[in-house]
């Protein structure tokens, strides 16, 4: 805990506020996350509608985000990322309040899509964080913002369960809506507007130096790599509970605990990886990314082959720790390879790619397990990590060639 406080103070009080807003707002959004199937089941007129809507309630927000994040990113570059954060939080608040009164599944799905389209909070939060920290330690910045998201998600799911035990499902969404509205008000009143002098001669020279240092980094290649890693992880999003029940005969609390170990491993691992990669050359980061992808391949392959629940849980924790060295670090490379005046656009595009990859991962996981059985889930995940590893090797080779030409520092 003391180390966390020290890190937040090291980035500055504005980032501490940004961390808190991320933690609270993401926790509020996840209050209803694990329990949507219960509500969809109650509202569905038939099993076929439930089967479709049960997947759609998770995919619709992702589709909304993937279709609009790049646009909101450009708006952030033009009008300020702080304004985009407030807009996103206000949109989350409004849609959460509206969905609390939805009485049929189609209205729920439409509002969930609208929620994703109006949201897009994380990308402007990342871009704003770069502004207020001057681009210092991007990997650490993104890692700690992702830690806030994961810890908030775990706490939000627990709080949502407590509310649902005592009150109707609508109370969960109403509470989340009020919390997001308060976060929007705090963000508007407390987050400072970055000084316009940020575009002055000093930062411009720094941005130019950054572009020269990272000329050999392929942003599209990095986005492809990030997308493959996320799709690999999301394959198990829907079939995980069924897998635990069928393969291990696990009780619900064991399933929930095992599922949470992935996020816990990420929370523990992300700050460690950020320190490992701090001030390192891109070739070093991409070289390690090859090994991390290979480690994910090995861990998921072993998890799919073991029938020992304790070993499975340990492997799931290790998987989460490895994932802590993926998305935050790779997004830091994407950010560092982009001009300072296009941070919102490129991070919005990255968010679009991440959400699109999540949708692909979820759908492919459902199709694969329904067609070939739950036993193929982990081998499928491992094969995707194998493909990710090949992409990482290609990016590393390209960065090495650029380093030899003097394009990379």
188 contacts 86 by C-beta, under 8 angstroms: yes
304-309 mean pLDDT:
91
CB atoms within 10 A of CB 406: 10
Task: Please state the domain extents for the chain.
Answer: 12-194, 200-403
Tokens of 36: 């949507």
Tokens of 136: 């210092």
17 alpha-carbon distance from chain centroid:
19
Residue 228's pLDDT is: 94
70 contacts 345 by C-beta, under 8 angstroms: yes
Task: Let me know if the fold of 12-194 is the same as that of 200-403.
Answer: yes
When mean pLDDT is compared across 46-60, 123-137, 312-326, 353-367, the lowest value belongs to: 123-137
Overall size of the chain counted in residues: 409
- Domain 200-403 is found in CATH 1.20.1250.20: yes
d(CA 61, CA 56): 9
210 pLDDT tier (thresholds 50, 70, 90)? very low
The CATH architecture assigned to 12-194 reads Up-down Bundle (1.20)
Q: What angle do CA 79, 83, 85 make, to 5 degrees?
A: 130
Q: For residue range 89-126, what is the model confidence (pLDDT) as tens digits?
A: 999 999 999 998 988 889 999 999 999 888 778 888 88
Residue with tokens 């996103």: 88
Beta bridge mates, 408: 214
Q: Is residue 344's pLDDT more than 90?
A: no
What is the Cα gyration radius of the chain?
Answer: 21
Q: Is residue 386's pLDDT more than 90?
A: yes
- Rounded to a whole number, what is the largest CA-CA distance in the chain? 64
371-375 mean pLDDT:
89
79 alpha-carbon distance from chain centroid:
24
Phi-psi domain of 135 (left: phi exceeds 0; alpha: psi -120 through 50; beta: other): left
Q: Is residue 277's pLDDT more than 80?
A: yes
Pick from 16, 42, 263: which is nearest to 158 by CA? 263
d(CA 10, CA 251): 43
388 pLDDT tier (thresholds 50, 70, 90)? very high
Coil vs helix vs strand at 192: coil
Mean per-residue pLDDT over the chain, rounded: 82
278-303 mean pLDDT:
91
Q: Enter the pTM of the model.
A: 0.77
Q: What are residue 105's phi and psi, to 5 degrees?
A: -65, -35
d(CA 142, CA 146): 6
Residues with Cβ within 8 Å of 207's Cβ and at least 6 positions away in sequence, in order, are 339, 340, 341
d(CA 186, CA 165): 30
Query: Which DSSP symbol is given to 337?
Result: T
Residue 290 is inside which H or E element, if any?
helix 282-305
Q: For residue range 27-61, what is the model confidence (pLDDT) as tens digits?
A: 888 888 777 777 888 888 887 888 788 788 888 88
143 contacts 273 by C-beta, under 8 angstroms: yes
d(CA 151, CA 50): 30
Q: What angle do CA 214, 203, 279 make, to 5 degrees?
A: 45
Residue 303's pLDDT is: 93
Pick from 143, 7, 371: which is nearest to 380 by CA? 371
When mean pLDDT is compared across 6-10, 54-58, 137-141, 181-185, the lowest value belongs to: 6-10
Of residues 2 and 28, more confidence is placed in: 28
Pick from 343, 7, 22: which is nearest to 186 by CA? 22
Residue 378's pLDDT is: 94
Residue 17 is inside which H or E element, if any?
helix 13-29
**In angstroms, how far is the first alpha carbon of the chain from the final one?**
35
């Amino acid at each position: 805990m003391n180390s966390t406080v020290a890190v937040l103070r090291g980035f500055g009080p504005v980032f501490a506020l940004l961390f808190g807003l991320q933690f609270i707002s993401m926790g509020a959004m996840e209050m209803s996350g694990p329990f949507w199937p219960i509500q969809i089941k109650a509202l569905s007129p038939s099993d076929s509608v439930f089967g479709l809507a049960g997947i759609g309630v998770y995919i619709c927000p992702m589709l909304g985000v993937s279709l609009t994040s790049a646009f909101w990113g450009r708006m952030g570059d033009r009008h300020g990322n702080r304004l985009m954060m407030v807009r996103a939080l206000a949109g989350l608040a409004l849609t959460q309040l509206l969905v609390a009164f939805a009485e049929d599944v189609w209205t729920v799905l439409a509002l969930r899509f609208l929620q994703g389209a109006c949201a897009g909070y994380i990308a402007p939060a990342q871009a704003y964080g770069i502004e207020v920290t001057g681009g210092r330690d991007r990997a650490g910045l993104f890692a700690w913002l992702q830690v806030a998201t994961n810890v908030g998600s775990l706490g939000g799911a627990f709080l949502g369960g407590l509310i649902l035990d005592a009150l109707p499902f609508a109370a969960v969404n109403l509470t989340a809506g009020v919390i997001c509205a308060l976060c929007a008000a705090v963000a508007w009143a407390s987050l400072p507007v970055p000084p316009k002098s940020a575009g002055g001669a000093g930062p411009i020279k720094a941005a130019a130096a950054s572009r020269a240092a990272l000329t050999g980094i392929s942003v599209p290649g990095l986005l492809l790599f990030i997308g493959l890693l996320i799709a690999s992880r999301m394959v198990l999003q829907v079939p995980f509970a069924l897998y635990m029940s069928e393969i291990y005969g696990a009780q619900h609390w064991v399933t929930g605990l095992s599922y949470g170990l992935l996020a816990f491993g990420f929370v523990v691992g992300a700050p460690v990886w950020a320190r490992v990669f701090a001030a390192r050359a891109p070739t070093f980061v991409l070289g390690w990314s090859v090994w991390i992808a290979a480690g994910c391949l090995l861990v998921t392959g072993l998890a799919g082959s073991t029938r020992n629940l304790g070993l499975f849980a340990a492997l799931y924790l290790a998987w989460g720790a490895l994932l802590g060295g993926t998305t935050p670090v790779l997004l830091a490379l994407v950010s560092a390879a982009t001009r300072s005046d296009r941070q919102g656009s490129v991070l919005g595009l990255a968010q679009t790619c991440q959400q699109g990859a999540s949708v692909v991962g979820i759908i492919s996981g459902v199709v694969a397990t329904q067609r070939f059985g739950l036993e193929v889930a982990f081998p499928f995940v491992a094969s995707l990590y194998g493909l990710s590893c090949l992409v990482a090797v290609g990016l590393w080779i390209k960065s090495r060639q650029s380093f030899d030409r003097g394009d990379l520092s």
